[in-house]
């Protein structure tokens, strides 16, 4: 007859006194540890819409869609929880560090359809003053301008945007010339790369 090892006896006695190590989930809510990587969430006030999170996502769980309608451009960011592997790359590479963060939620079970397992946020675009094409999300431009501080005055588009943000510059009355026509004086304005190249060549 083989006798149990002392270590096994010790573990058995400890289990009788302290109870089982496993939690009583799902009958009692399980509280993961502090650094647990769970369901990611966008934080609209901190997200700039730069799409860095979508670029580094290994499973393409973050979808980016740019829409132009009624003269306004918007970027929609969608995180699909059903294909997310909670790797944390989105949080690690976020421009602000707070735009998208991983929560400690791990229970994805739902009675709704699979399409409900997602979160969407919209970001408004800054548009080109000549052609009307979207340039960059408004929040991203504002973040860059504030981050650079006085250095933003080295770029005319960024300088004008920052002055408008502070309420120190106002848009002049619309001219009667064609919207797609780019002139030399348009260099001092918020332009897309194509219109800026044309304005620089004309100067």
Clarify whether residues 81 and 116 are in a common domain: yes
Residues of the chain with pLDDT under 50: 173-177
Residue found under tokens 């700039």: 48
If one counts the domains in the chain, the total is 2
Catalogue the E-assigned strands of 2-149: 40-42, 62-69, 72-80, 100-102, 118-127, 134-137
Out of 125, 158, 193, pick the residue that ends a domain: 125
Domain encompassing residue 148: 128-170+179-203
Closest CA to 125 of 168, 76, 78: 76
Q: Which residues pair with 66 in a beta bridge?
A: 75
Query: CATH no. for residue 54?
Result: 3.30.70.3270
Between CA 128 and CA 198 the distance in angstroms is 13
Residue 25 corresponds to which tokens in the numbers above? 């989930």
pLDDT value, residue 47: 95
Between CA 113 and CA 91 the distance in angstroms is 27
Q: Which residues pair with 119 in a beta bridge?
A: 79
Residue 28 included in any domain: no
Q: Largest Cα–Cα distance of the chain, in whole Å?
A: 102
pLDDT value, residue 195: 83
Residue found under tokens 């009958």: 27
Closest CA to 199 of 152, 129, 125: 129
pLDDT value, residue 24: 78
Residue 17 included in any domain: no
pLDDT value, residue 193: 82
């Amino acid at each position: 007859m083989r006798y149990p090892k002392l270590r096994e006896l010790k573990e058995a006695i400890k289990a009788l006194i302290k109870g089982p190590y496993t939690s009583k989930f799902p009958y009692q809510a399980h509280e993961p540890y502090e650094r647990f990587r769970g369901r990611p969430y966008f934080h609209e006030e901190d997200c700039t819409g730069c799409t860095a999170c979508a670029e580094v996502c290994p499973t393409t769980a973050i979808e980016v869609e740019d829409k132009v309608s009624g003269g306004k451009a918007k970027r929609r960011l969608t995180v699909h929880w059903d294909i997310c592997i909670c790797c944390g790359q989105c949080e690690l590479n976020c421009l602000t560090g707070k735009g998208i963060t991983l929560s400690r939620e791990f229970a994805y079970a739902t009675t709704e359809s699979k399409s409900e397992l997602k979160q969407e946020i919209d970001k408004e675009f800054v548009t080109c003053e000549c052609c009307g094409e979207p340039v960059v999300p408004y929040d991203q431009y504002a973040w860059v301008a504030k981050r650079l501080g006085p250095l933003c005055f080295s770029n005319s588009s960024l300088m004008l945007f920052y002055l408008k943000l502070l309420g120190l510059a106002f848009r002049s009355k619309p001219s009667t010339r064609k919207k797609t026509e780019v002139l030399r004086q348009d260099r001092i304005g918020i332009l897309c790369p194509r219109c800026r190249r044309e304005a620089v060549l004309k100067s």
